Structure 1
Amino acid sequence: MRRPGARSSPSWAEDAAGDSVTVAGWTVVSRVTGLVRIAAIGAVLGPTVLGNTFQFTNSLPNLLYYGLLGGSLFTSLLVPALVHHVDGRDRAAAERIAGGFLGIAMAALLVVVPLALLLGPALLAAMAPHGTGTAEGQEAVARLLFLMFVPQVFCYAVVGTATATMNAHRRFALAAAAPAMENVGIIVVLALTAALMGQAPARLDAVPEGELLLLGLGTTGAVAAHAALQWWGARRAGVTLRPSAGWREPEVLAVIRRALPSLGQAGVLAVQMVVLLAAANHVRGGVVAFQMALSFIYLAIAIGVTPMAVSALPWLSRLFVREQPGEFRDMFTRSMSLCLFVAVPAAVGSMLLAPQLSRVVAVGRMGSTAGVTAITACLVALATSILGTAVFQICSYSSYARKDTRAPLVGAVVQVLVCLAGTGLSLLLLDGLSLLAGLGAAYSVGAVAGALTLWLRFHGHSHPGRTRLLPSLARTLAAAGAMAVPVWLVSRALSAALTGQSGAALTVLACAVLGIGTYAAASSALRAPELGLLLRSVGRRGRLRGELT
């Protein structure tokens, strides 16, 4: 096997494109199975206090991992530290660095988990819905479930370390696909719960202990299986992961010190989500409905926003290193234009098709009129957050390219403060479905406020370029407006003619095809360069896939 440094530049370019196709494809699979997973939670547990309690406590391990370790940032930080040793075929050094990271992660989690166990269930109980049992009862059940979920936090640390290890060895498929296994495992647990335990009772004091044990231990078992698969993948790549005293490794400590502002950013965003989910607990089934709506938002961001931000990062980094500020600003503007070209129609489509999308995922006990209406209210209010996230991500990655990690942290703090203020007002003034809509609006307004803050900081410290964003944004908004009218009319007509979940799915499919076609035609008529760029990129990836296979 030839050393990486001996390979030609065109070969590396083709490999990088092939890797991105692999990651994108399996990421979509993982996101879609995640959407099915949250739909299964709604179908089995429904709009009940148990549904709220399960979804909130099961989200805590993931939020702890993303809040404390920065989630995907953890992987991004560890990969550069490992690549040098991987290229040098120094397996012992790679195992030492990876094990050190894992050791520090687990030590940090040992400190944070007891605090989460103390505060998380108490926060949930403080927002307990009225007339569905005592807050003390919900806090007790939440604490029991979270005790069973605690091992998941450490499993996610293994997942992050193993993913970084495989990525450093240029093994991407398993790392991107393995989360789907966890989702499928949890879906199986929920199906067993429905088959063995029947319909979940409305009151927590009537929930059998066996059902809680099956949900808690079964879900943690699915996460453990995911972690074991990732660990095996890292071992297959040549690195056996064992936690060690990473605080004794200078390389590990150096990377962590550089990452502290970004870790702070991830932490404040995790706090925001914990508070929002706790506030949604004020409505029966509100946590499940809010998470269902968020799953659509995350799917749109994962497909249309994040890949563009990530792909722009290396180019922006090169231009910054070469001290070409004008070209850097032009690249930033083009990246922003392209990202908004995808994000704007995604946000508009999410608003227009919110009732139909909600009917598609609202199955089982969540398929009632109240369940569908709750998801719809959340989705409509959350749709604008796609735009805020798009701007925030492009500005964040552009700041990282300039080695600035403080500006994204400031933007995240503004986002969270605005969101928390809106959440407080919603709890004081609203109730029921209007409260869920208020929480979604608070999240969206916060996302836009954080994005504007980061944009202004970036704009104020950036060299002017030749490319202008306003003309591109005007074309994008005009094309989205041209798309909105026929999609709205057709969705209303088909919704009246087609009933049930299958009818909603057909409506979404037909409106998606109509919307994409109309948006593309309007963009072509307006001579939007972003359309041609996207089409050429898809064509190149298609040809490359054929060559690689």
Structure 2
Amino acid sequence: MLGPTFLANTFLATNTVPALIYSIVAGPVLALVVVPAVVGSLAERGVGASALLLRRLSGLLVTTSAALALLLVLASPVLAWSLTLGVSAEPERAESLRLTQIMLVFVAPQVVLYTVAALGAAAQQARKRFALAAAAPALENIGLMITMAVAAAVHGAGLDVGEAPTGLVVLLGTGATLSVAAHAAAQVIGTARVGLSIRPARGWRSDPAAGQAAQRLRRSIAVAALPSGAFYVLLALSATVRGGVLVLQMAYAVYSVPSALGARAVTTAALPGLSGAAKAGDDVGYAAAWRQALSYGLTVGVPALCVLVGFAGLVADVLANGELRTPELIPTLAACIAVLGVAQLAAGVHEIGRQALFARLDVTGPRLAGVVGFVSTVLAGSACLLLPAGPPRLVALCGAVLLADAAAAATATVLIGRAIRPAALVDLAGAAATGAGAVVILPVICAGVVLTGTGEGGRLLDLAVAVPLTALAGALFVLASTAVGSRLRGAS
């Protein structure tokens, strides 16, 4: 609906800012802190006291997030300036600046709503109820789809900042915020259904359990803030290209899928073993658990790399619809997906290494890896401004993501290596098996690229060819890597 325009940059960048600010307040670590606190309280003090603990934590976090939402509104002129640097022509730049400020004001409440939603999801998880907590975020997507449909019907598609009325920006901002509100409301309902409440209450300072949870959250701020800061830098830099934020976020969404299905799933499964071995002082067990987690991460990340790089053109062609279906955008998006397809492997290793360090109660190591990734993003991303404001700059920005992920992964891996020395850092048999599996599937993927690259049969036919070939490649990867791994381990 928006197309490759500066208006698309404005909407997507500003609508991302509240989520980034929420990540700094608590973000992905909130559940890791709140769930254990509530579970422990349920076991020791019962439902009533645990509900009060949760309400006190809610009071702290909602108050903090509300203050940050207000700060977002006050800082909107500065943020708008940083997100519109790429609009150089007047009066287009002045109008873009004005619309960005308006949008920031309308999306600012999302900071509070994301906090409420996360608290509700954590409360349900503490009571071992997962379905609604996992499904509720889909309401945001549905709400955004409805918002876009209404905006297209009322104002039309493909408008840029010089043509877009203020009413369109207000509609987009309001619809996006109401979508997050629907998500938060569902999580509140789910919390009530498990007998808890996230209605804010005072007294968290006088509650030892709430105070300890708050202290752990404060210690994690730097770890959460660095990735959020790095992504904001990418948003600001990609906004210098017309439609650049849109291309970057679409490619980034594809890049996030293997990490969500791979590294995060691996760390969820491996974290208890890593934590248990670290707590018991079992260095041998900890090293073995790390090597296994890394091996599993590579097992998921390597075939994903092959598929994303091989079928980047097809993925871009499928995603480019409506106003996005332009001859220039599709190859640019394909190149970005291919580069980030490599980056997701490094990002997965970084995530596994970071969680392994956390399992040792090491906060300094993950913070150092985050600093390395942030500095790499700023330096490499800033250098991309030397390139023309078009496809070369966007592809180079994705290269900056790859560099930052690789630097952070290397930092975390080196720290793990020091911690487990003299034990081996990598399971060589597992790495060789993964490499063998990759070699086996390459001909299948190459055949798929050749068969789907003609453009004669249309997207549906290309998908009909690519999907079964991808499934075949996955099956061959499993068979080859399992066979080679078993033989190597048997020989050793």
After TM superposition, the score normalised by the length of structure 1 is 0.84
Q: Shift of the alpha carbon at 1:114?
A: 4.3
1: distance between equivalents of 2:394 and 2:72? 24
Aligned residue in 2 for 1:363? 321
The letter of the residue matching 2:251 is: A
Counterparts of 1:127-526 in structure 2, within 5 Å, are 128-131=86-89, 134-202=92-160, 204-245=161-202, 246-465=204-423, 468-496=426-454, 498-526=456-484
Of the three residues 21, 25, 30, the one matched with 1:74 is 30
Contact 1:148-1:217 within 8 A present in 2 as well: yes
Matches of 1:420 and 1:430, distance apart in 2: 18
Question: Does the residue aligned with 1:386 lie in a helix, a strand or coil?
Answer: helix
In the alignment, is residue 107 of structure 1 matched against residue 66 of structure 2?
Answer: no
Instruction: String of CA shifts for 1:69-113, please: whole Å, max 9, x gaps.
Output: 1x1211110111111232356333222221222222223223433
Give the 3 Å change call, closer, same or farther, for CA 206–497 of structure 1 in structure 2. Answer: closer
2-structure distance, mates of 1:296, 1:249: 43
* Count of matched residue positions in the alignment of Structure 1 and Structure 2: 485
Distance 2:301 2:212 in 1: 36
The 1-side partners of 2:461 and 2:79 are apart by 40
With normalisation by structure 2, the TM-score equals 0.93
Distance 1:465 1:458 in 2: 10
Question: How far apart, CA to CA, are the structure 1 residues paired with 2:364 and 2:281?
Answer: 21
The equivalent residue for 1:15 is none
| 8 Å Cα contact 1:341-1:530 kept in structure 2 | no
User: After TM superposition, what 4+ stretches of structure 1 lie above 4 angstroms from structure 2?
Assistant: 130-133, 528-531
Task: Tell me the CA shift for residue 205 of structure 1.
Answer: 3.0
Displacement of 1:51 in angstroms is 0.8
Alignment-derived partner of residue 537 in structure 1: none
Q: Deviations over 1:228-264 (max 9, x none)?
A: 1100110111112211233443322222323434321
How far did 1:307 drift? 0.7
The alpha-carbon distance between structure 1 residues 185 and 398, as it changes in their structure 2 partners (threshold 3 A), is: same
Q: Is the 8 A contact 2:339 2:395 kept in 1?
A: yes
After TM superposition, give the deviation of residue 498 of structure 1 in Å. 4.7
CA contact (8 A) 1:48 1:285 kept: yes
**Following TM superposition, by how much is the alpha carbon of 1:58 offset from its aligned partner in structure 2, in angstroms?**
0.5
Deviations 1:356-387 (A, max 9, x none): 01111111111222221222122122122211
After superposition, residues 36-55 of structure 1 pair within 5 angstroms as 44-55=1-12
What's the secondary structure of 2:4's corresponding residue? coil
Against the structure 1 CA distance between its residues 141 and 528, is the aligned structure 2 distance closer, same or farther, given a 3 Å change threshold? farther
Aligned partners of 1:528 and 1:264: how far apart in 2?
Answer: 42
Counterpart in 2 of 1:123? 82
1:512, CA displacement in angstroms? 1.2
Contact 1:82 1:168 in 2 (8 A): yes
Describe the SS at the equivalent of 2:8: helix
Distance 1:158 1:295 in 2: 24
**Identity score, percent:** 27
The 3 A distance-change label for structure 1 pair 432 and 416 is same
Superposed CA deviations along residues 416-448 of structure 1, whole A, max 9, x for unmatched, are 111111001111234310111111010111011
Which residue number in structure 1 is paired with residue 39 of structure 2? 83
Distance 1:308 1:529, change over 3 A: farther
Distance 1:184 1:525, change over 3 A: same
Change (3 A) 1:505 1:261: farther
Q: Equivalent residue of 1:496, what SS?
A: coil
CA distance in 2, matches of 1:347, 1:460: 28
Going from structure 1 to structure 2, the CA distance change for 1:510 and 1:369 (only over 3 Å counts) comes to farther
- Mean CA deviation greater in 382-391 or 283-292: 382-391
- TM-aligned CA distance change 1:293 to 1:98, over 3 Å: same
Summarize the alignment of residues 4-83 of structure 1 with structure 2, pairs less than 5 Å apart.
44-69=1-26, 71-83=27-39
Q: 1:430/1:521 Cα in 2 relative to 1: closer, same or farther (>3 Å)?
A: farther
What's 2:49 paired with?
A: 93
State how far apart, in whole Å, the 2-side matches of 1:158 and 1:144 are.
24
1:163 shift after superposition: 0.9
CA distance in structure 1 between the aligned counterparts of 2:462 and 2:70, rounded to whole angstroms: 44
- Per-residue CA deviation, residues 308-341 of structure 1 (Å, 9 max, x unaligned), is 1111001111122222211210111011111111
Task: Please state whether the residue corresponding to 2:54 is helix, strand or coil.
Answer: helix
Structure 2 spans left out of the alignment, 5+ residues: none
Aligned CA-pair RMSD: 2.1
C-alpha contact (below 8 Å) 2:51/2:196 kept by paired residues: yes
Deviation at 1:213, TM superposition (A): 2.2
AA in 2 matched with 1:150: A
Cα distance between partner residues in 2 of 1:229 and 1:449? 39
Q: Which whole-Å deviations, capped at 9, do the CAs of 1:4-60 have from their partners, x for residues lacking one?
A: xxxxxxxxxxxxxxxxxxxxxxxxxxxxxxxxxxxxxxxx11111111110000001
User: 1:125 corresponds to which letter in structure 2?
Assistant: T
Asked whether the equivalents of residues 302 and 345 of structure 2 are also in contact (C-alpha less than 8 Å), the reply is: yes
Larger mean CA deviation between 204-213 and 457-466 belongs to: 457-466
Q: Secondary structure at the match of 1:50?
A: helix
CA distance change for structure 1 residues 528 and 298 in 2, over 3 Å: closer, same or farther? farther
What is the distance in 1 between the residues matched to 2:224 and 2:230? 10
Deviation readout 1:272-310 (Å, 9 max, x if unpaired): 001101111111111011101111111111112211111
SS of structure 2 residue aligned to 1:170: coil
- 2:284–2:423 contact (8 Å) kept in structure 1: yes
More divergent stretch after superposition (464-473 vs 240-249): 464-473
Between the aligned partners of 1:211 and 1:181, the Cα distance in structure 2 is 22
Shift in Å at residue 348 of structure 1?
Answer: 2.0
